[in-house]
Amino acid sequence: MFETSSLTISKSAYQNNLDFIRKQCNDGVRFCSVVKGNAYGHGLVPFVRMAYDQGVDYFAVYSSAEAYEIKSALPKADVIIMGMTDEPSMEWAINNEVEIFVFDFEKLELAIKMAHQINKKVNIHIEVETGMNRTGFLIQDLPHVFSIIKENIDFNELIGFTTHYAGAESLVNDFRVREQINLFAKAQDMLHQSGLKPKYIHSACSAAMMNYPETIGNLVRIGIMQYGFWPNEETLIRFNGNSRENDQTLKRLLSWKSKVMTLKPIKKGDYVGYNTSFQAYADMTLAVIPVGYAYGYSRSLSNSGKVLIHGEEAPICGIVNMNALCVDVSHIPNVKKTDEVVLIGNQDKKTISVASFGEMSDQLNYELLTRLPYDIPRTIID
């Protein structure tokens, strides 16, 4: 209600990105929206409600807490938990028909045990370790996994068979990724020989969908591209040879805005803020913006970041504080208190992009977006 900044999420930009993603897939391929990390900073519940209204009804999260939020907002949506489900959350997941990734024997045994106790099937996706070396059953363990599943067939539903690629966005990882693709193909052969038939075979994330389309299967799990970002510039170049600046294929959903809190005249030679990192080179007028690193605006943007005011770039002067930053508006006429400040997004003909933050702060798009605090209000716009 009284927040110092706000985020808007564009529905039309999302529809544009959905249309593009679906064109990359064959008919009958189901789209699963990856919304872990607070929907990549876009706000979990506002985002999934918007997506659901646009025909998306399958969501992947990392935690049971995220799944609970979605199911509370959209009881009919299908949800996969790709990460942790301990005993209390396992019982909740089974009761609410939430799907879970199973990637070790302890989790498989817990899922089966809880299903027996509740007398209800657990919906599982078997994850195979093919080279990411994070989670997943080793290929030599799959016969035993399949045996457990078949022995408890009345208490589990095999929804998916999956793996995750390590670096599909970059050619430098090509050998490793192709080895993973080959190993997953071998795992699928073993699955077929076992007689088990999951509903989905899936391994394609955003980068794999674009760079290794043979991985698409009958389901794709798409995160960063639905929000309007390429996994990296190399993926964009491999797709159409264009530089990031000329790309109009995907559209960013998110804009971040604040207001001028106060104006501060300073004299030539004065220092600004903490320490002595910025000294005024002339008489200047600063605008103080009530956003700092506590609100997700990186401290590494001190003396390097920019905002937009009246359609002009205003550079940050001094260190980004916990709750505020100062920008030079000496060159911008008639700036006053409460004027709009664009931290990310467009104003007139200028743009401050998330990518520009990455260039100035060494943050990945993913990192900057997911660090945006939960309590900044998110509003859906057309």
Catalytic residue set: 36, 274
Looking at residue 222, the DSSP 8-state letter turns out to be E
Q: Is 176 annotated as a binding residue?
A: no
Find out whether 322 is annotated in a ligand binding site. yes
Q: How many CB atoms lie within 10 A of CB 197?
A: 10
Rounded Cα distance, 266 and 147, in Å? 75
Specify the DSSP element, H or E, that contains 67.
helix 64-73
Q: How far is CA 350 from CA 209, 298, 347, in A?
A: 32, 21, 6
Determine the Cα–Cα distance for residues 108 and 101; give it in Å rounded to an integer.
9
Q: In sequence order, what E strands does 206-339 have? A: 219-222, 254-259, 262-266, 284-289, 306-309, 312-315, 325-328
DSSP 337: T
Burial of 246 (0-12, 13-18, 19+ CB in 10 A): exposed
142-151 and 174-194 are packed helices; what angle lies between their axes, rounded to 10 degrees? Answer: 40
Tokens representing 234?
């190399």
Instruction: At 117, list the tokens.
Output: 């106790």
C-alpha 126/C-alpha 147 separation (Å) is 13
User: How many other C-beta atoms are found inside a 10 Å radius of the C-beta of residue 269?
Assistant: 10
Q: Report the DSSP beta bridge partners of residue 161.
A: 126, 201
**What residues are designated binding site?**
134, 322
Per the annotation, where are the binding residues for substrate?
A: 134, 322
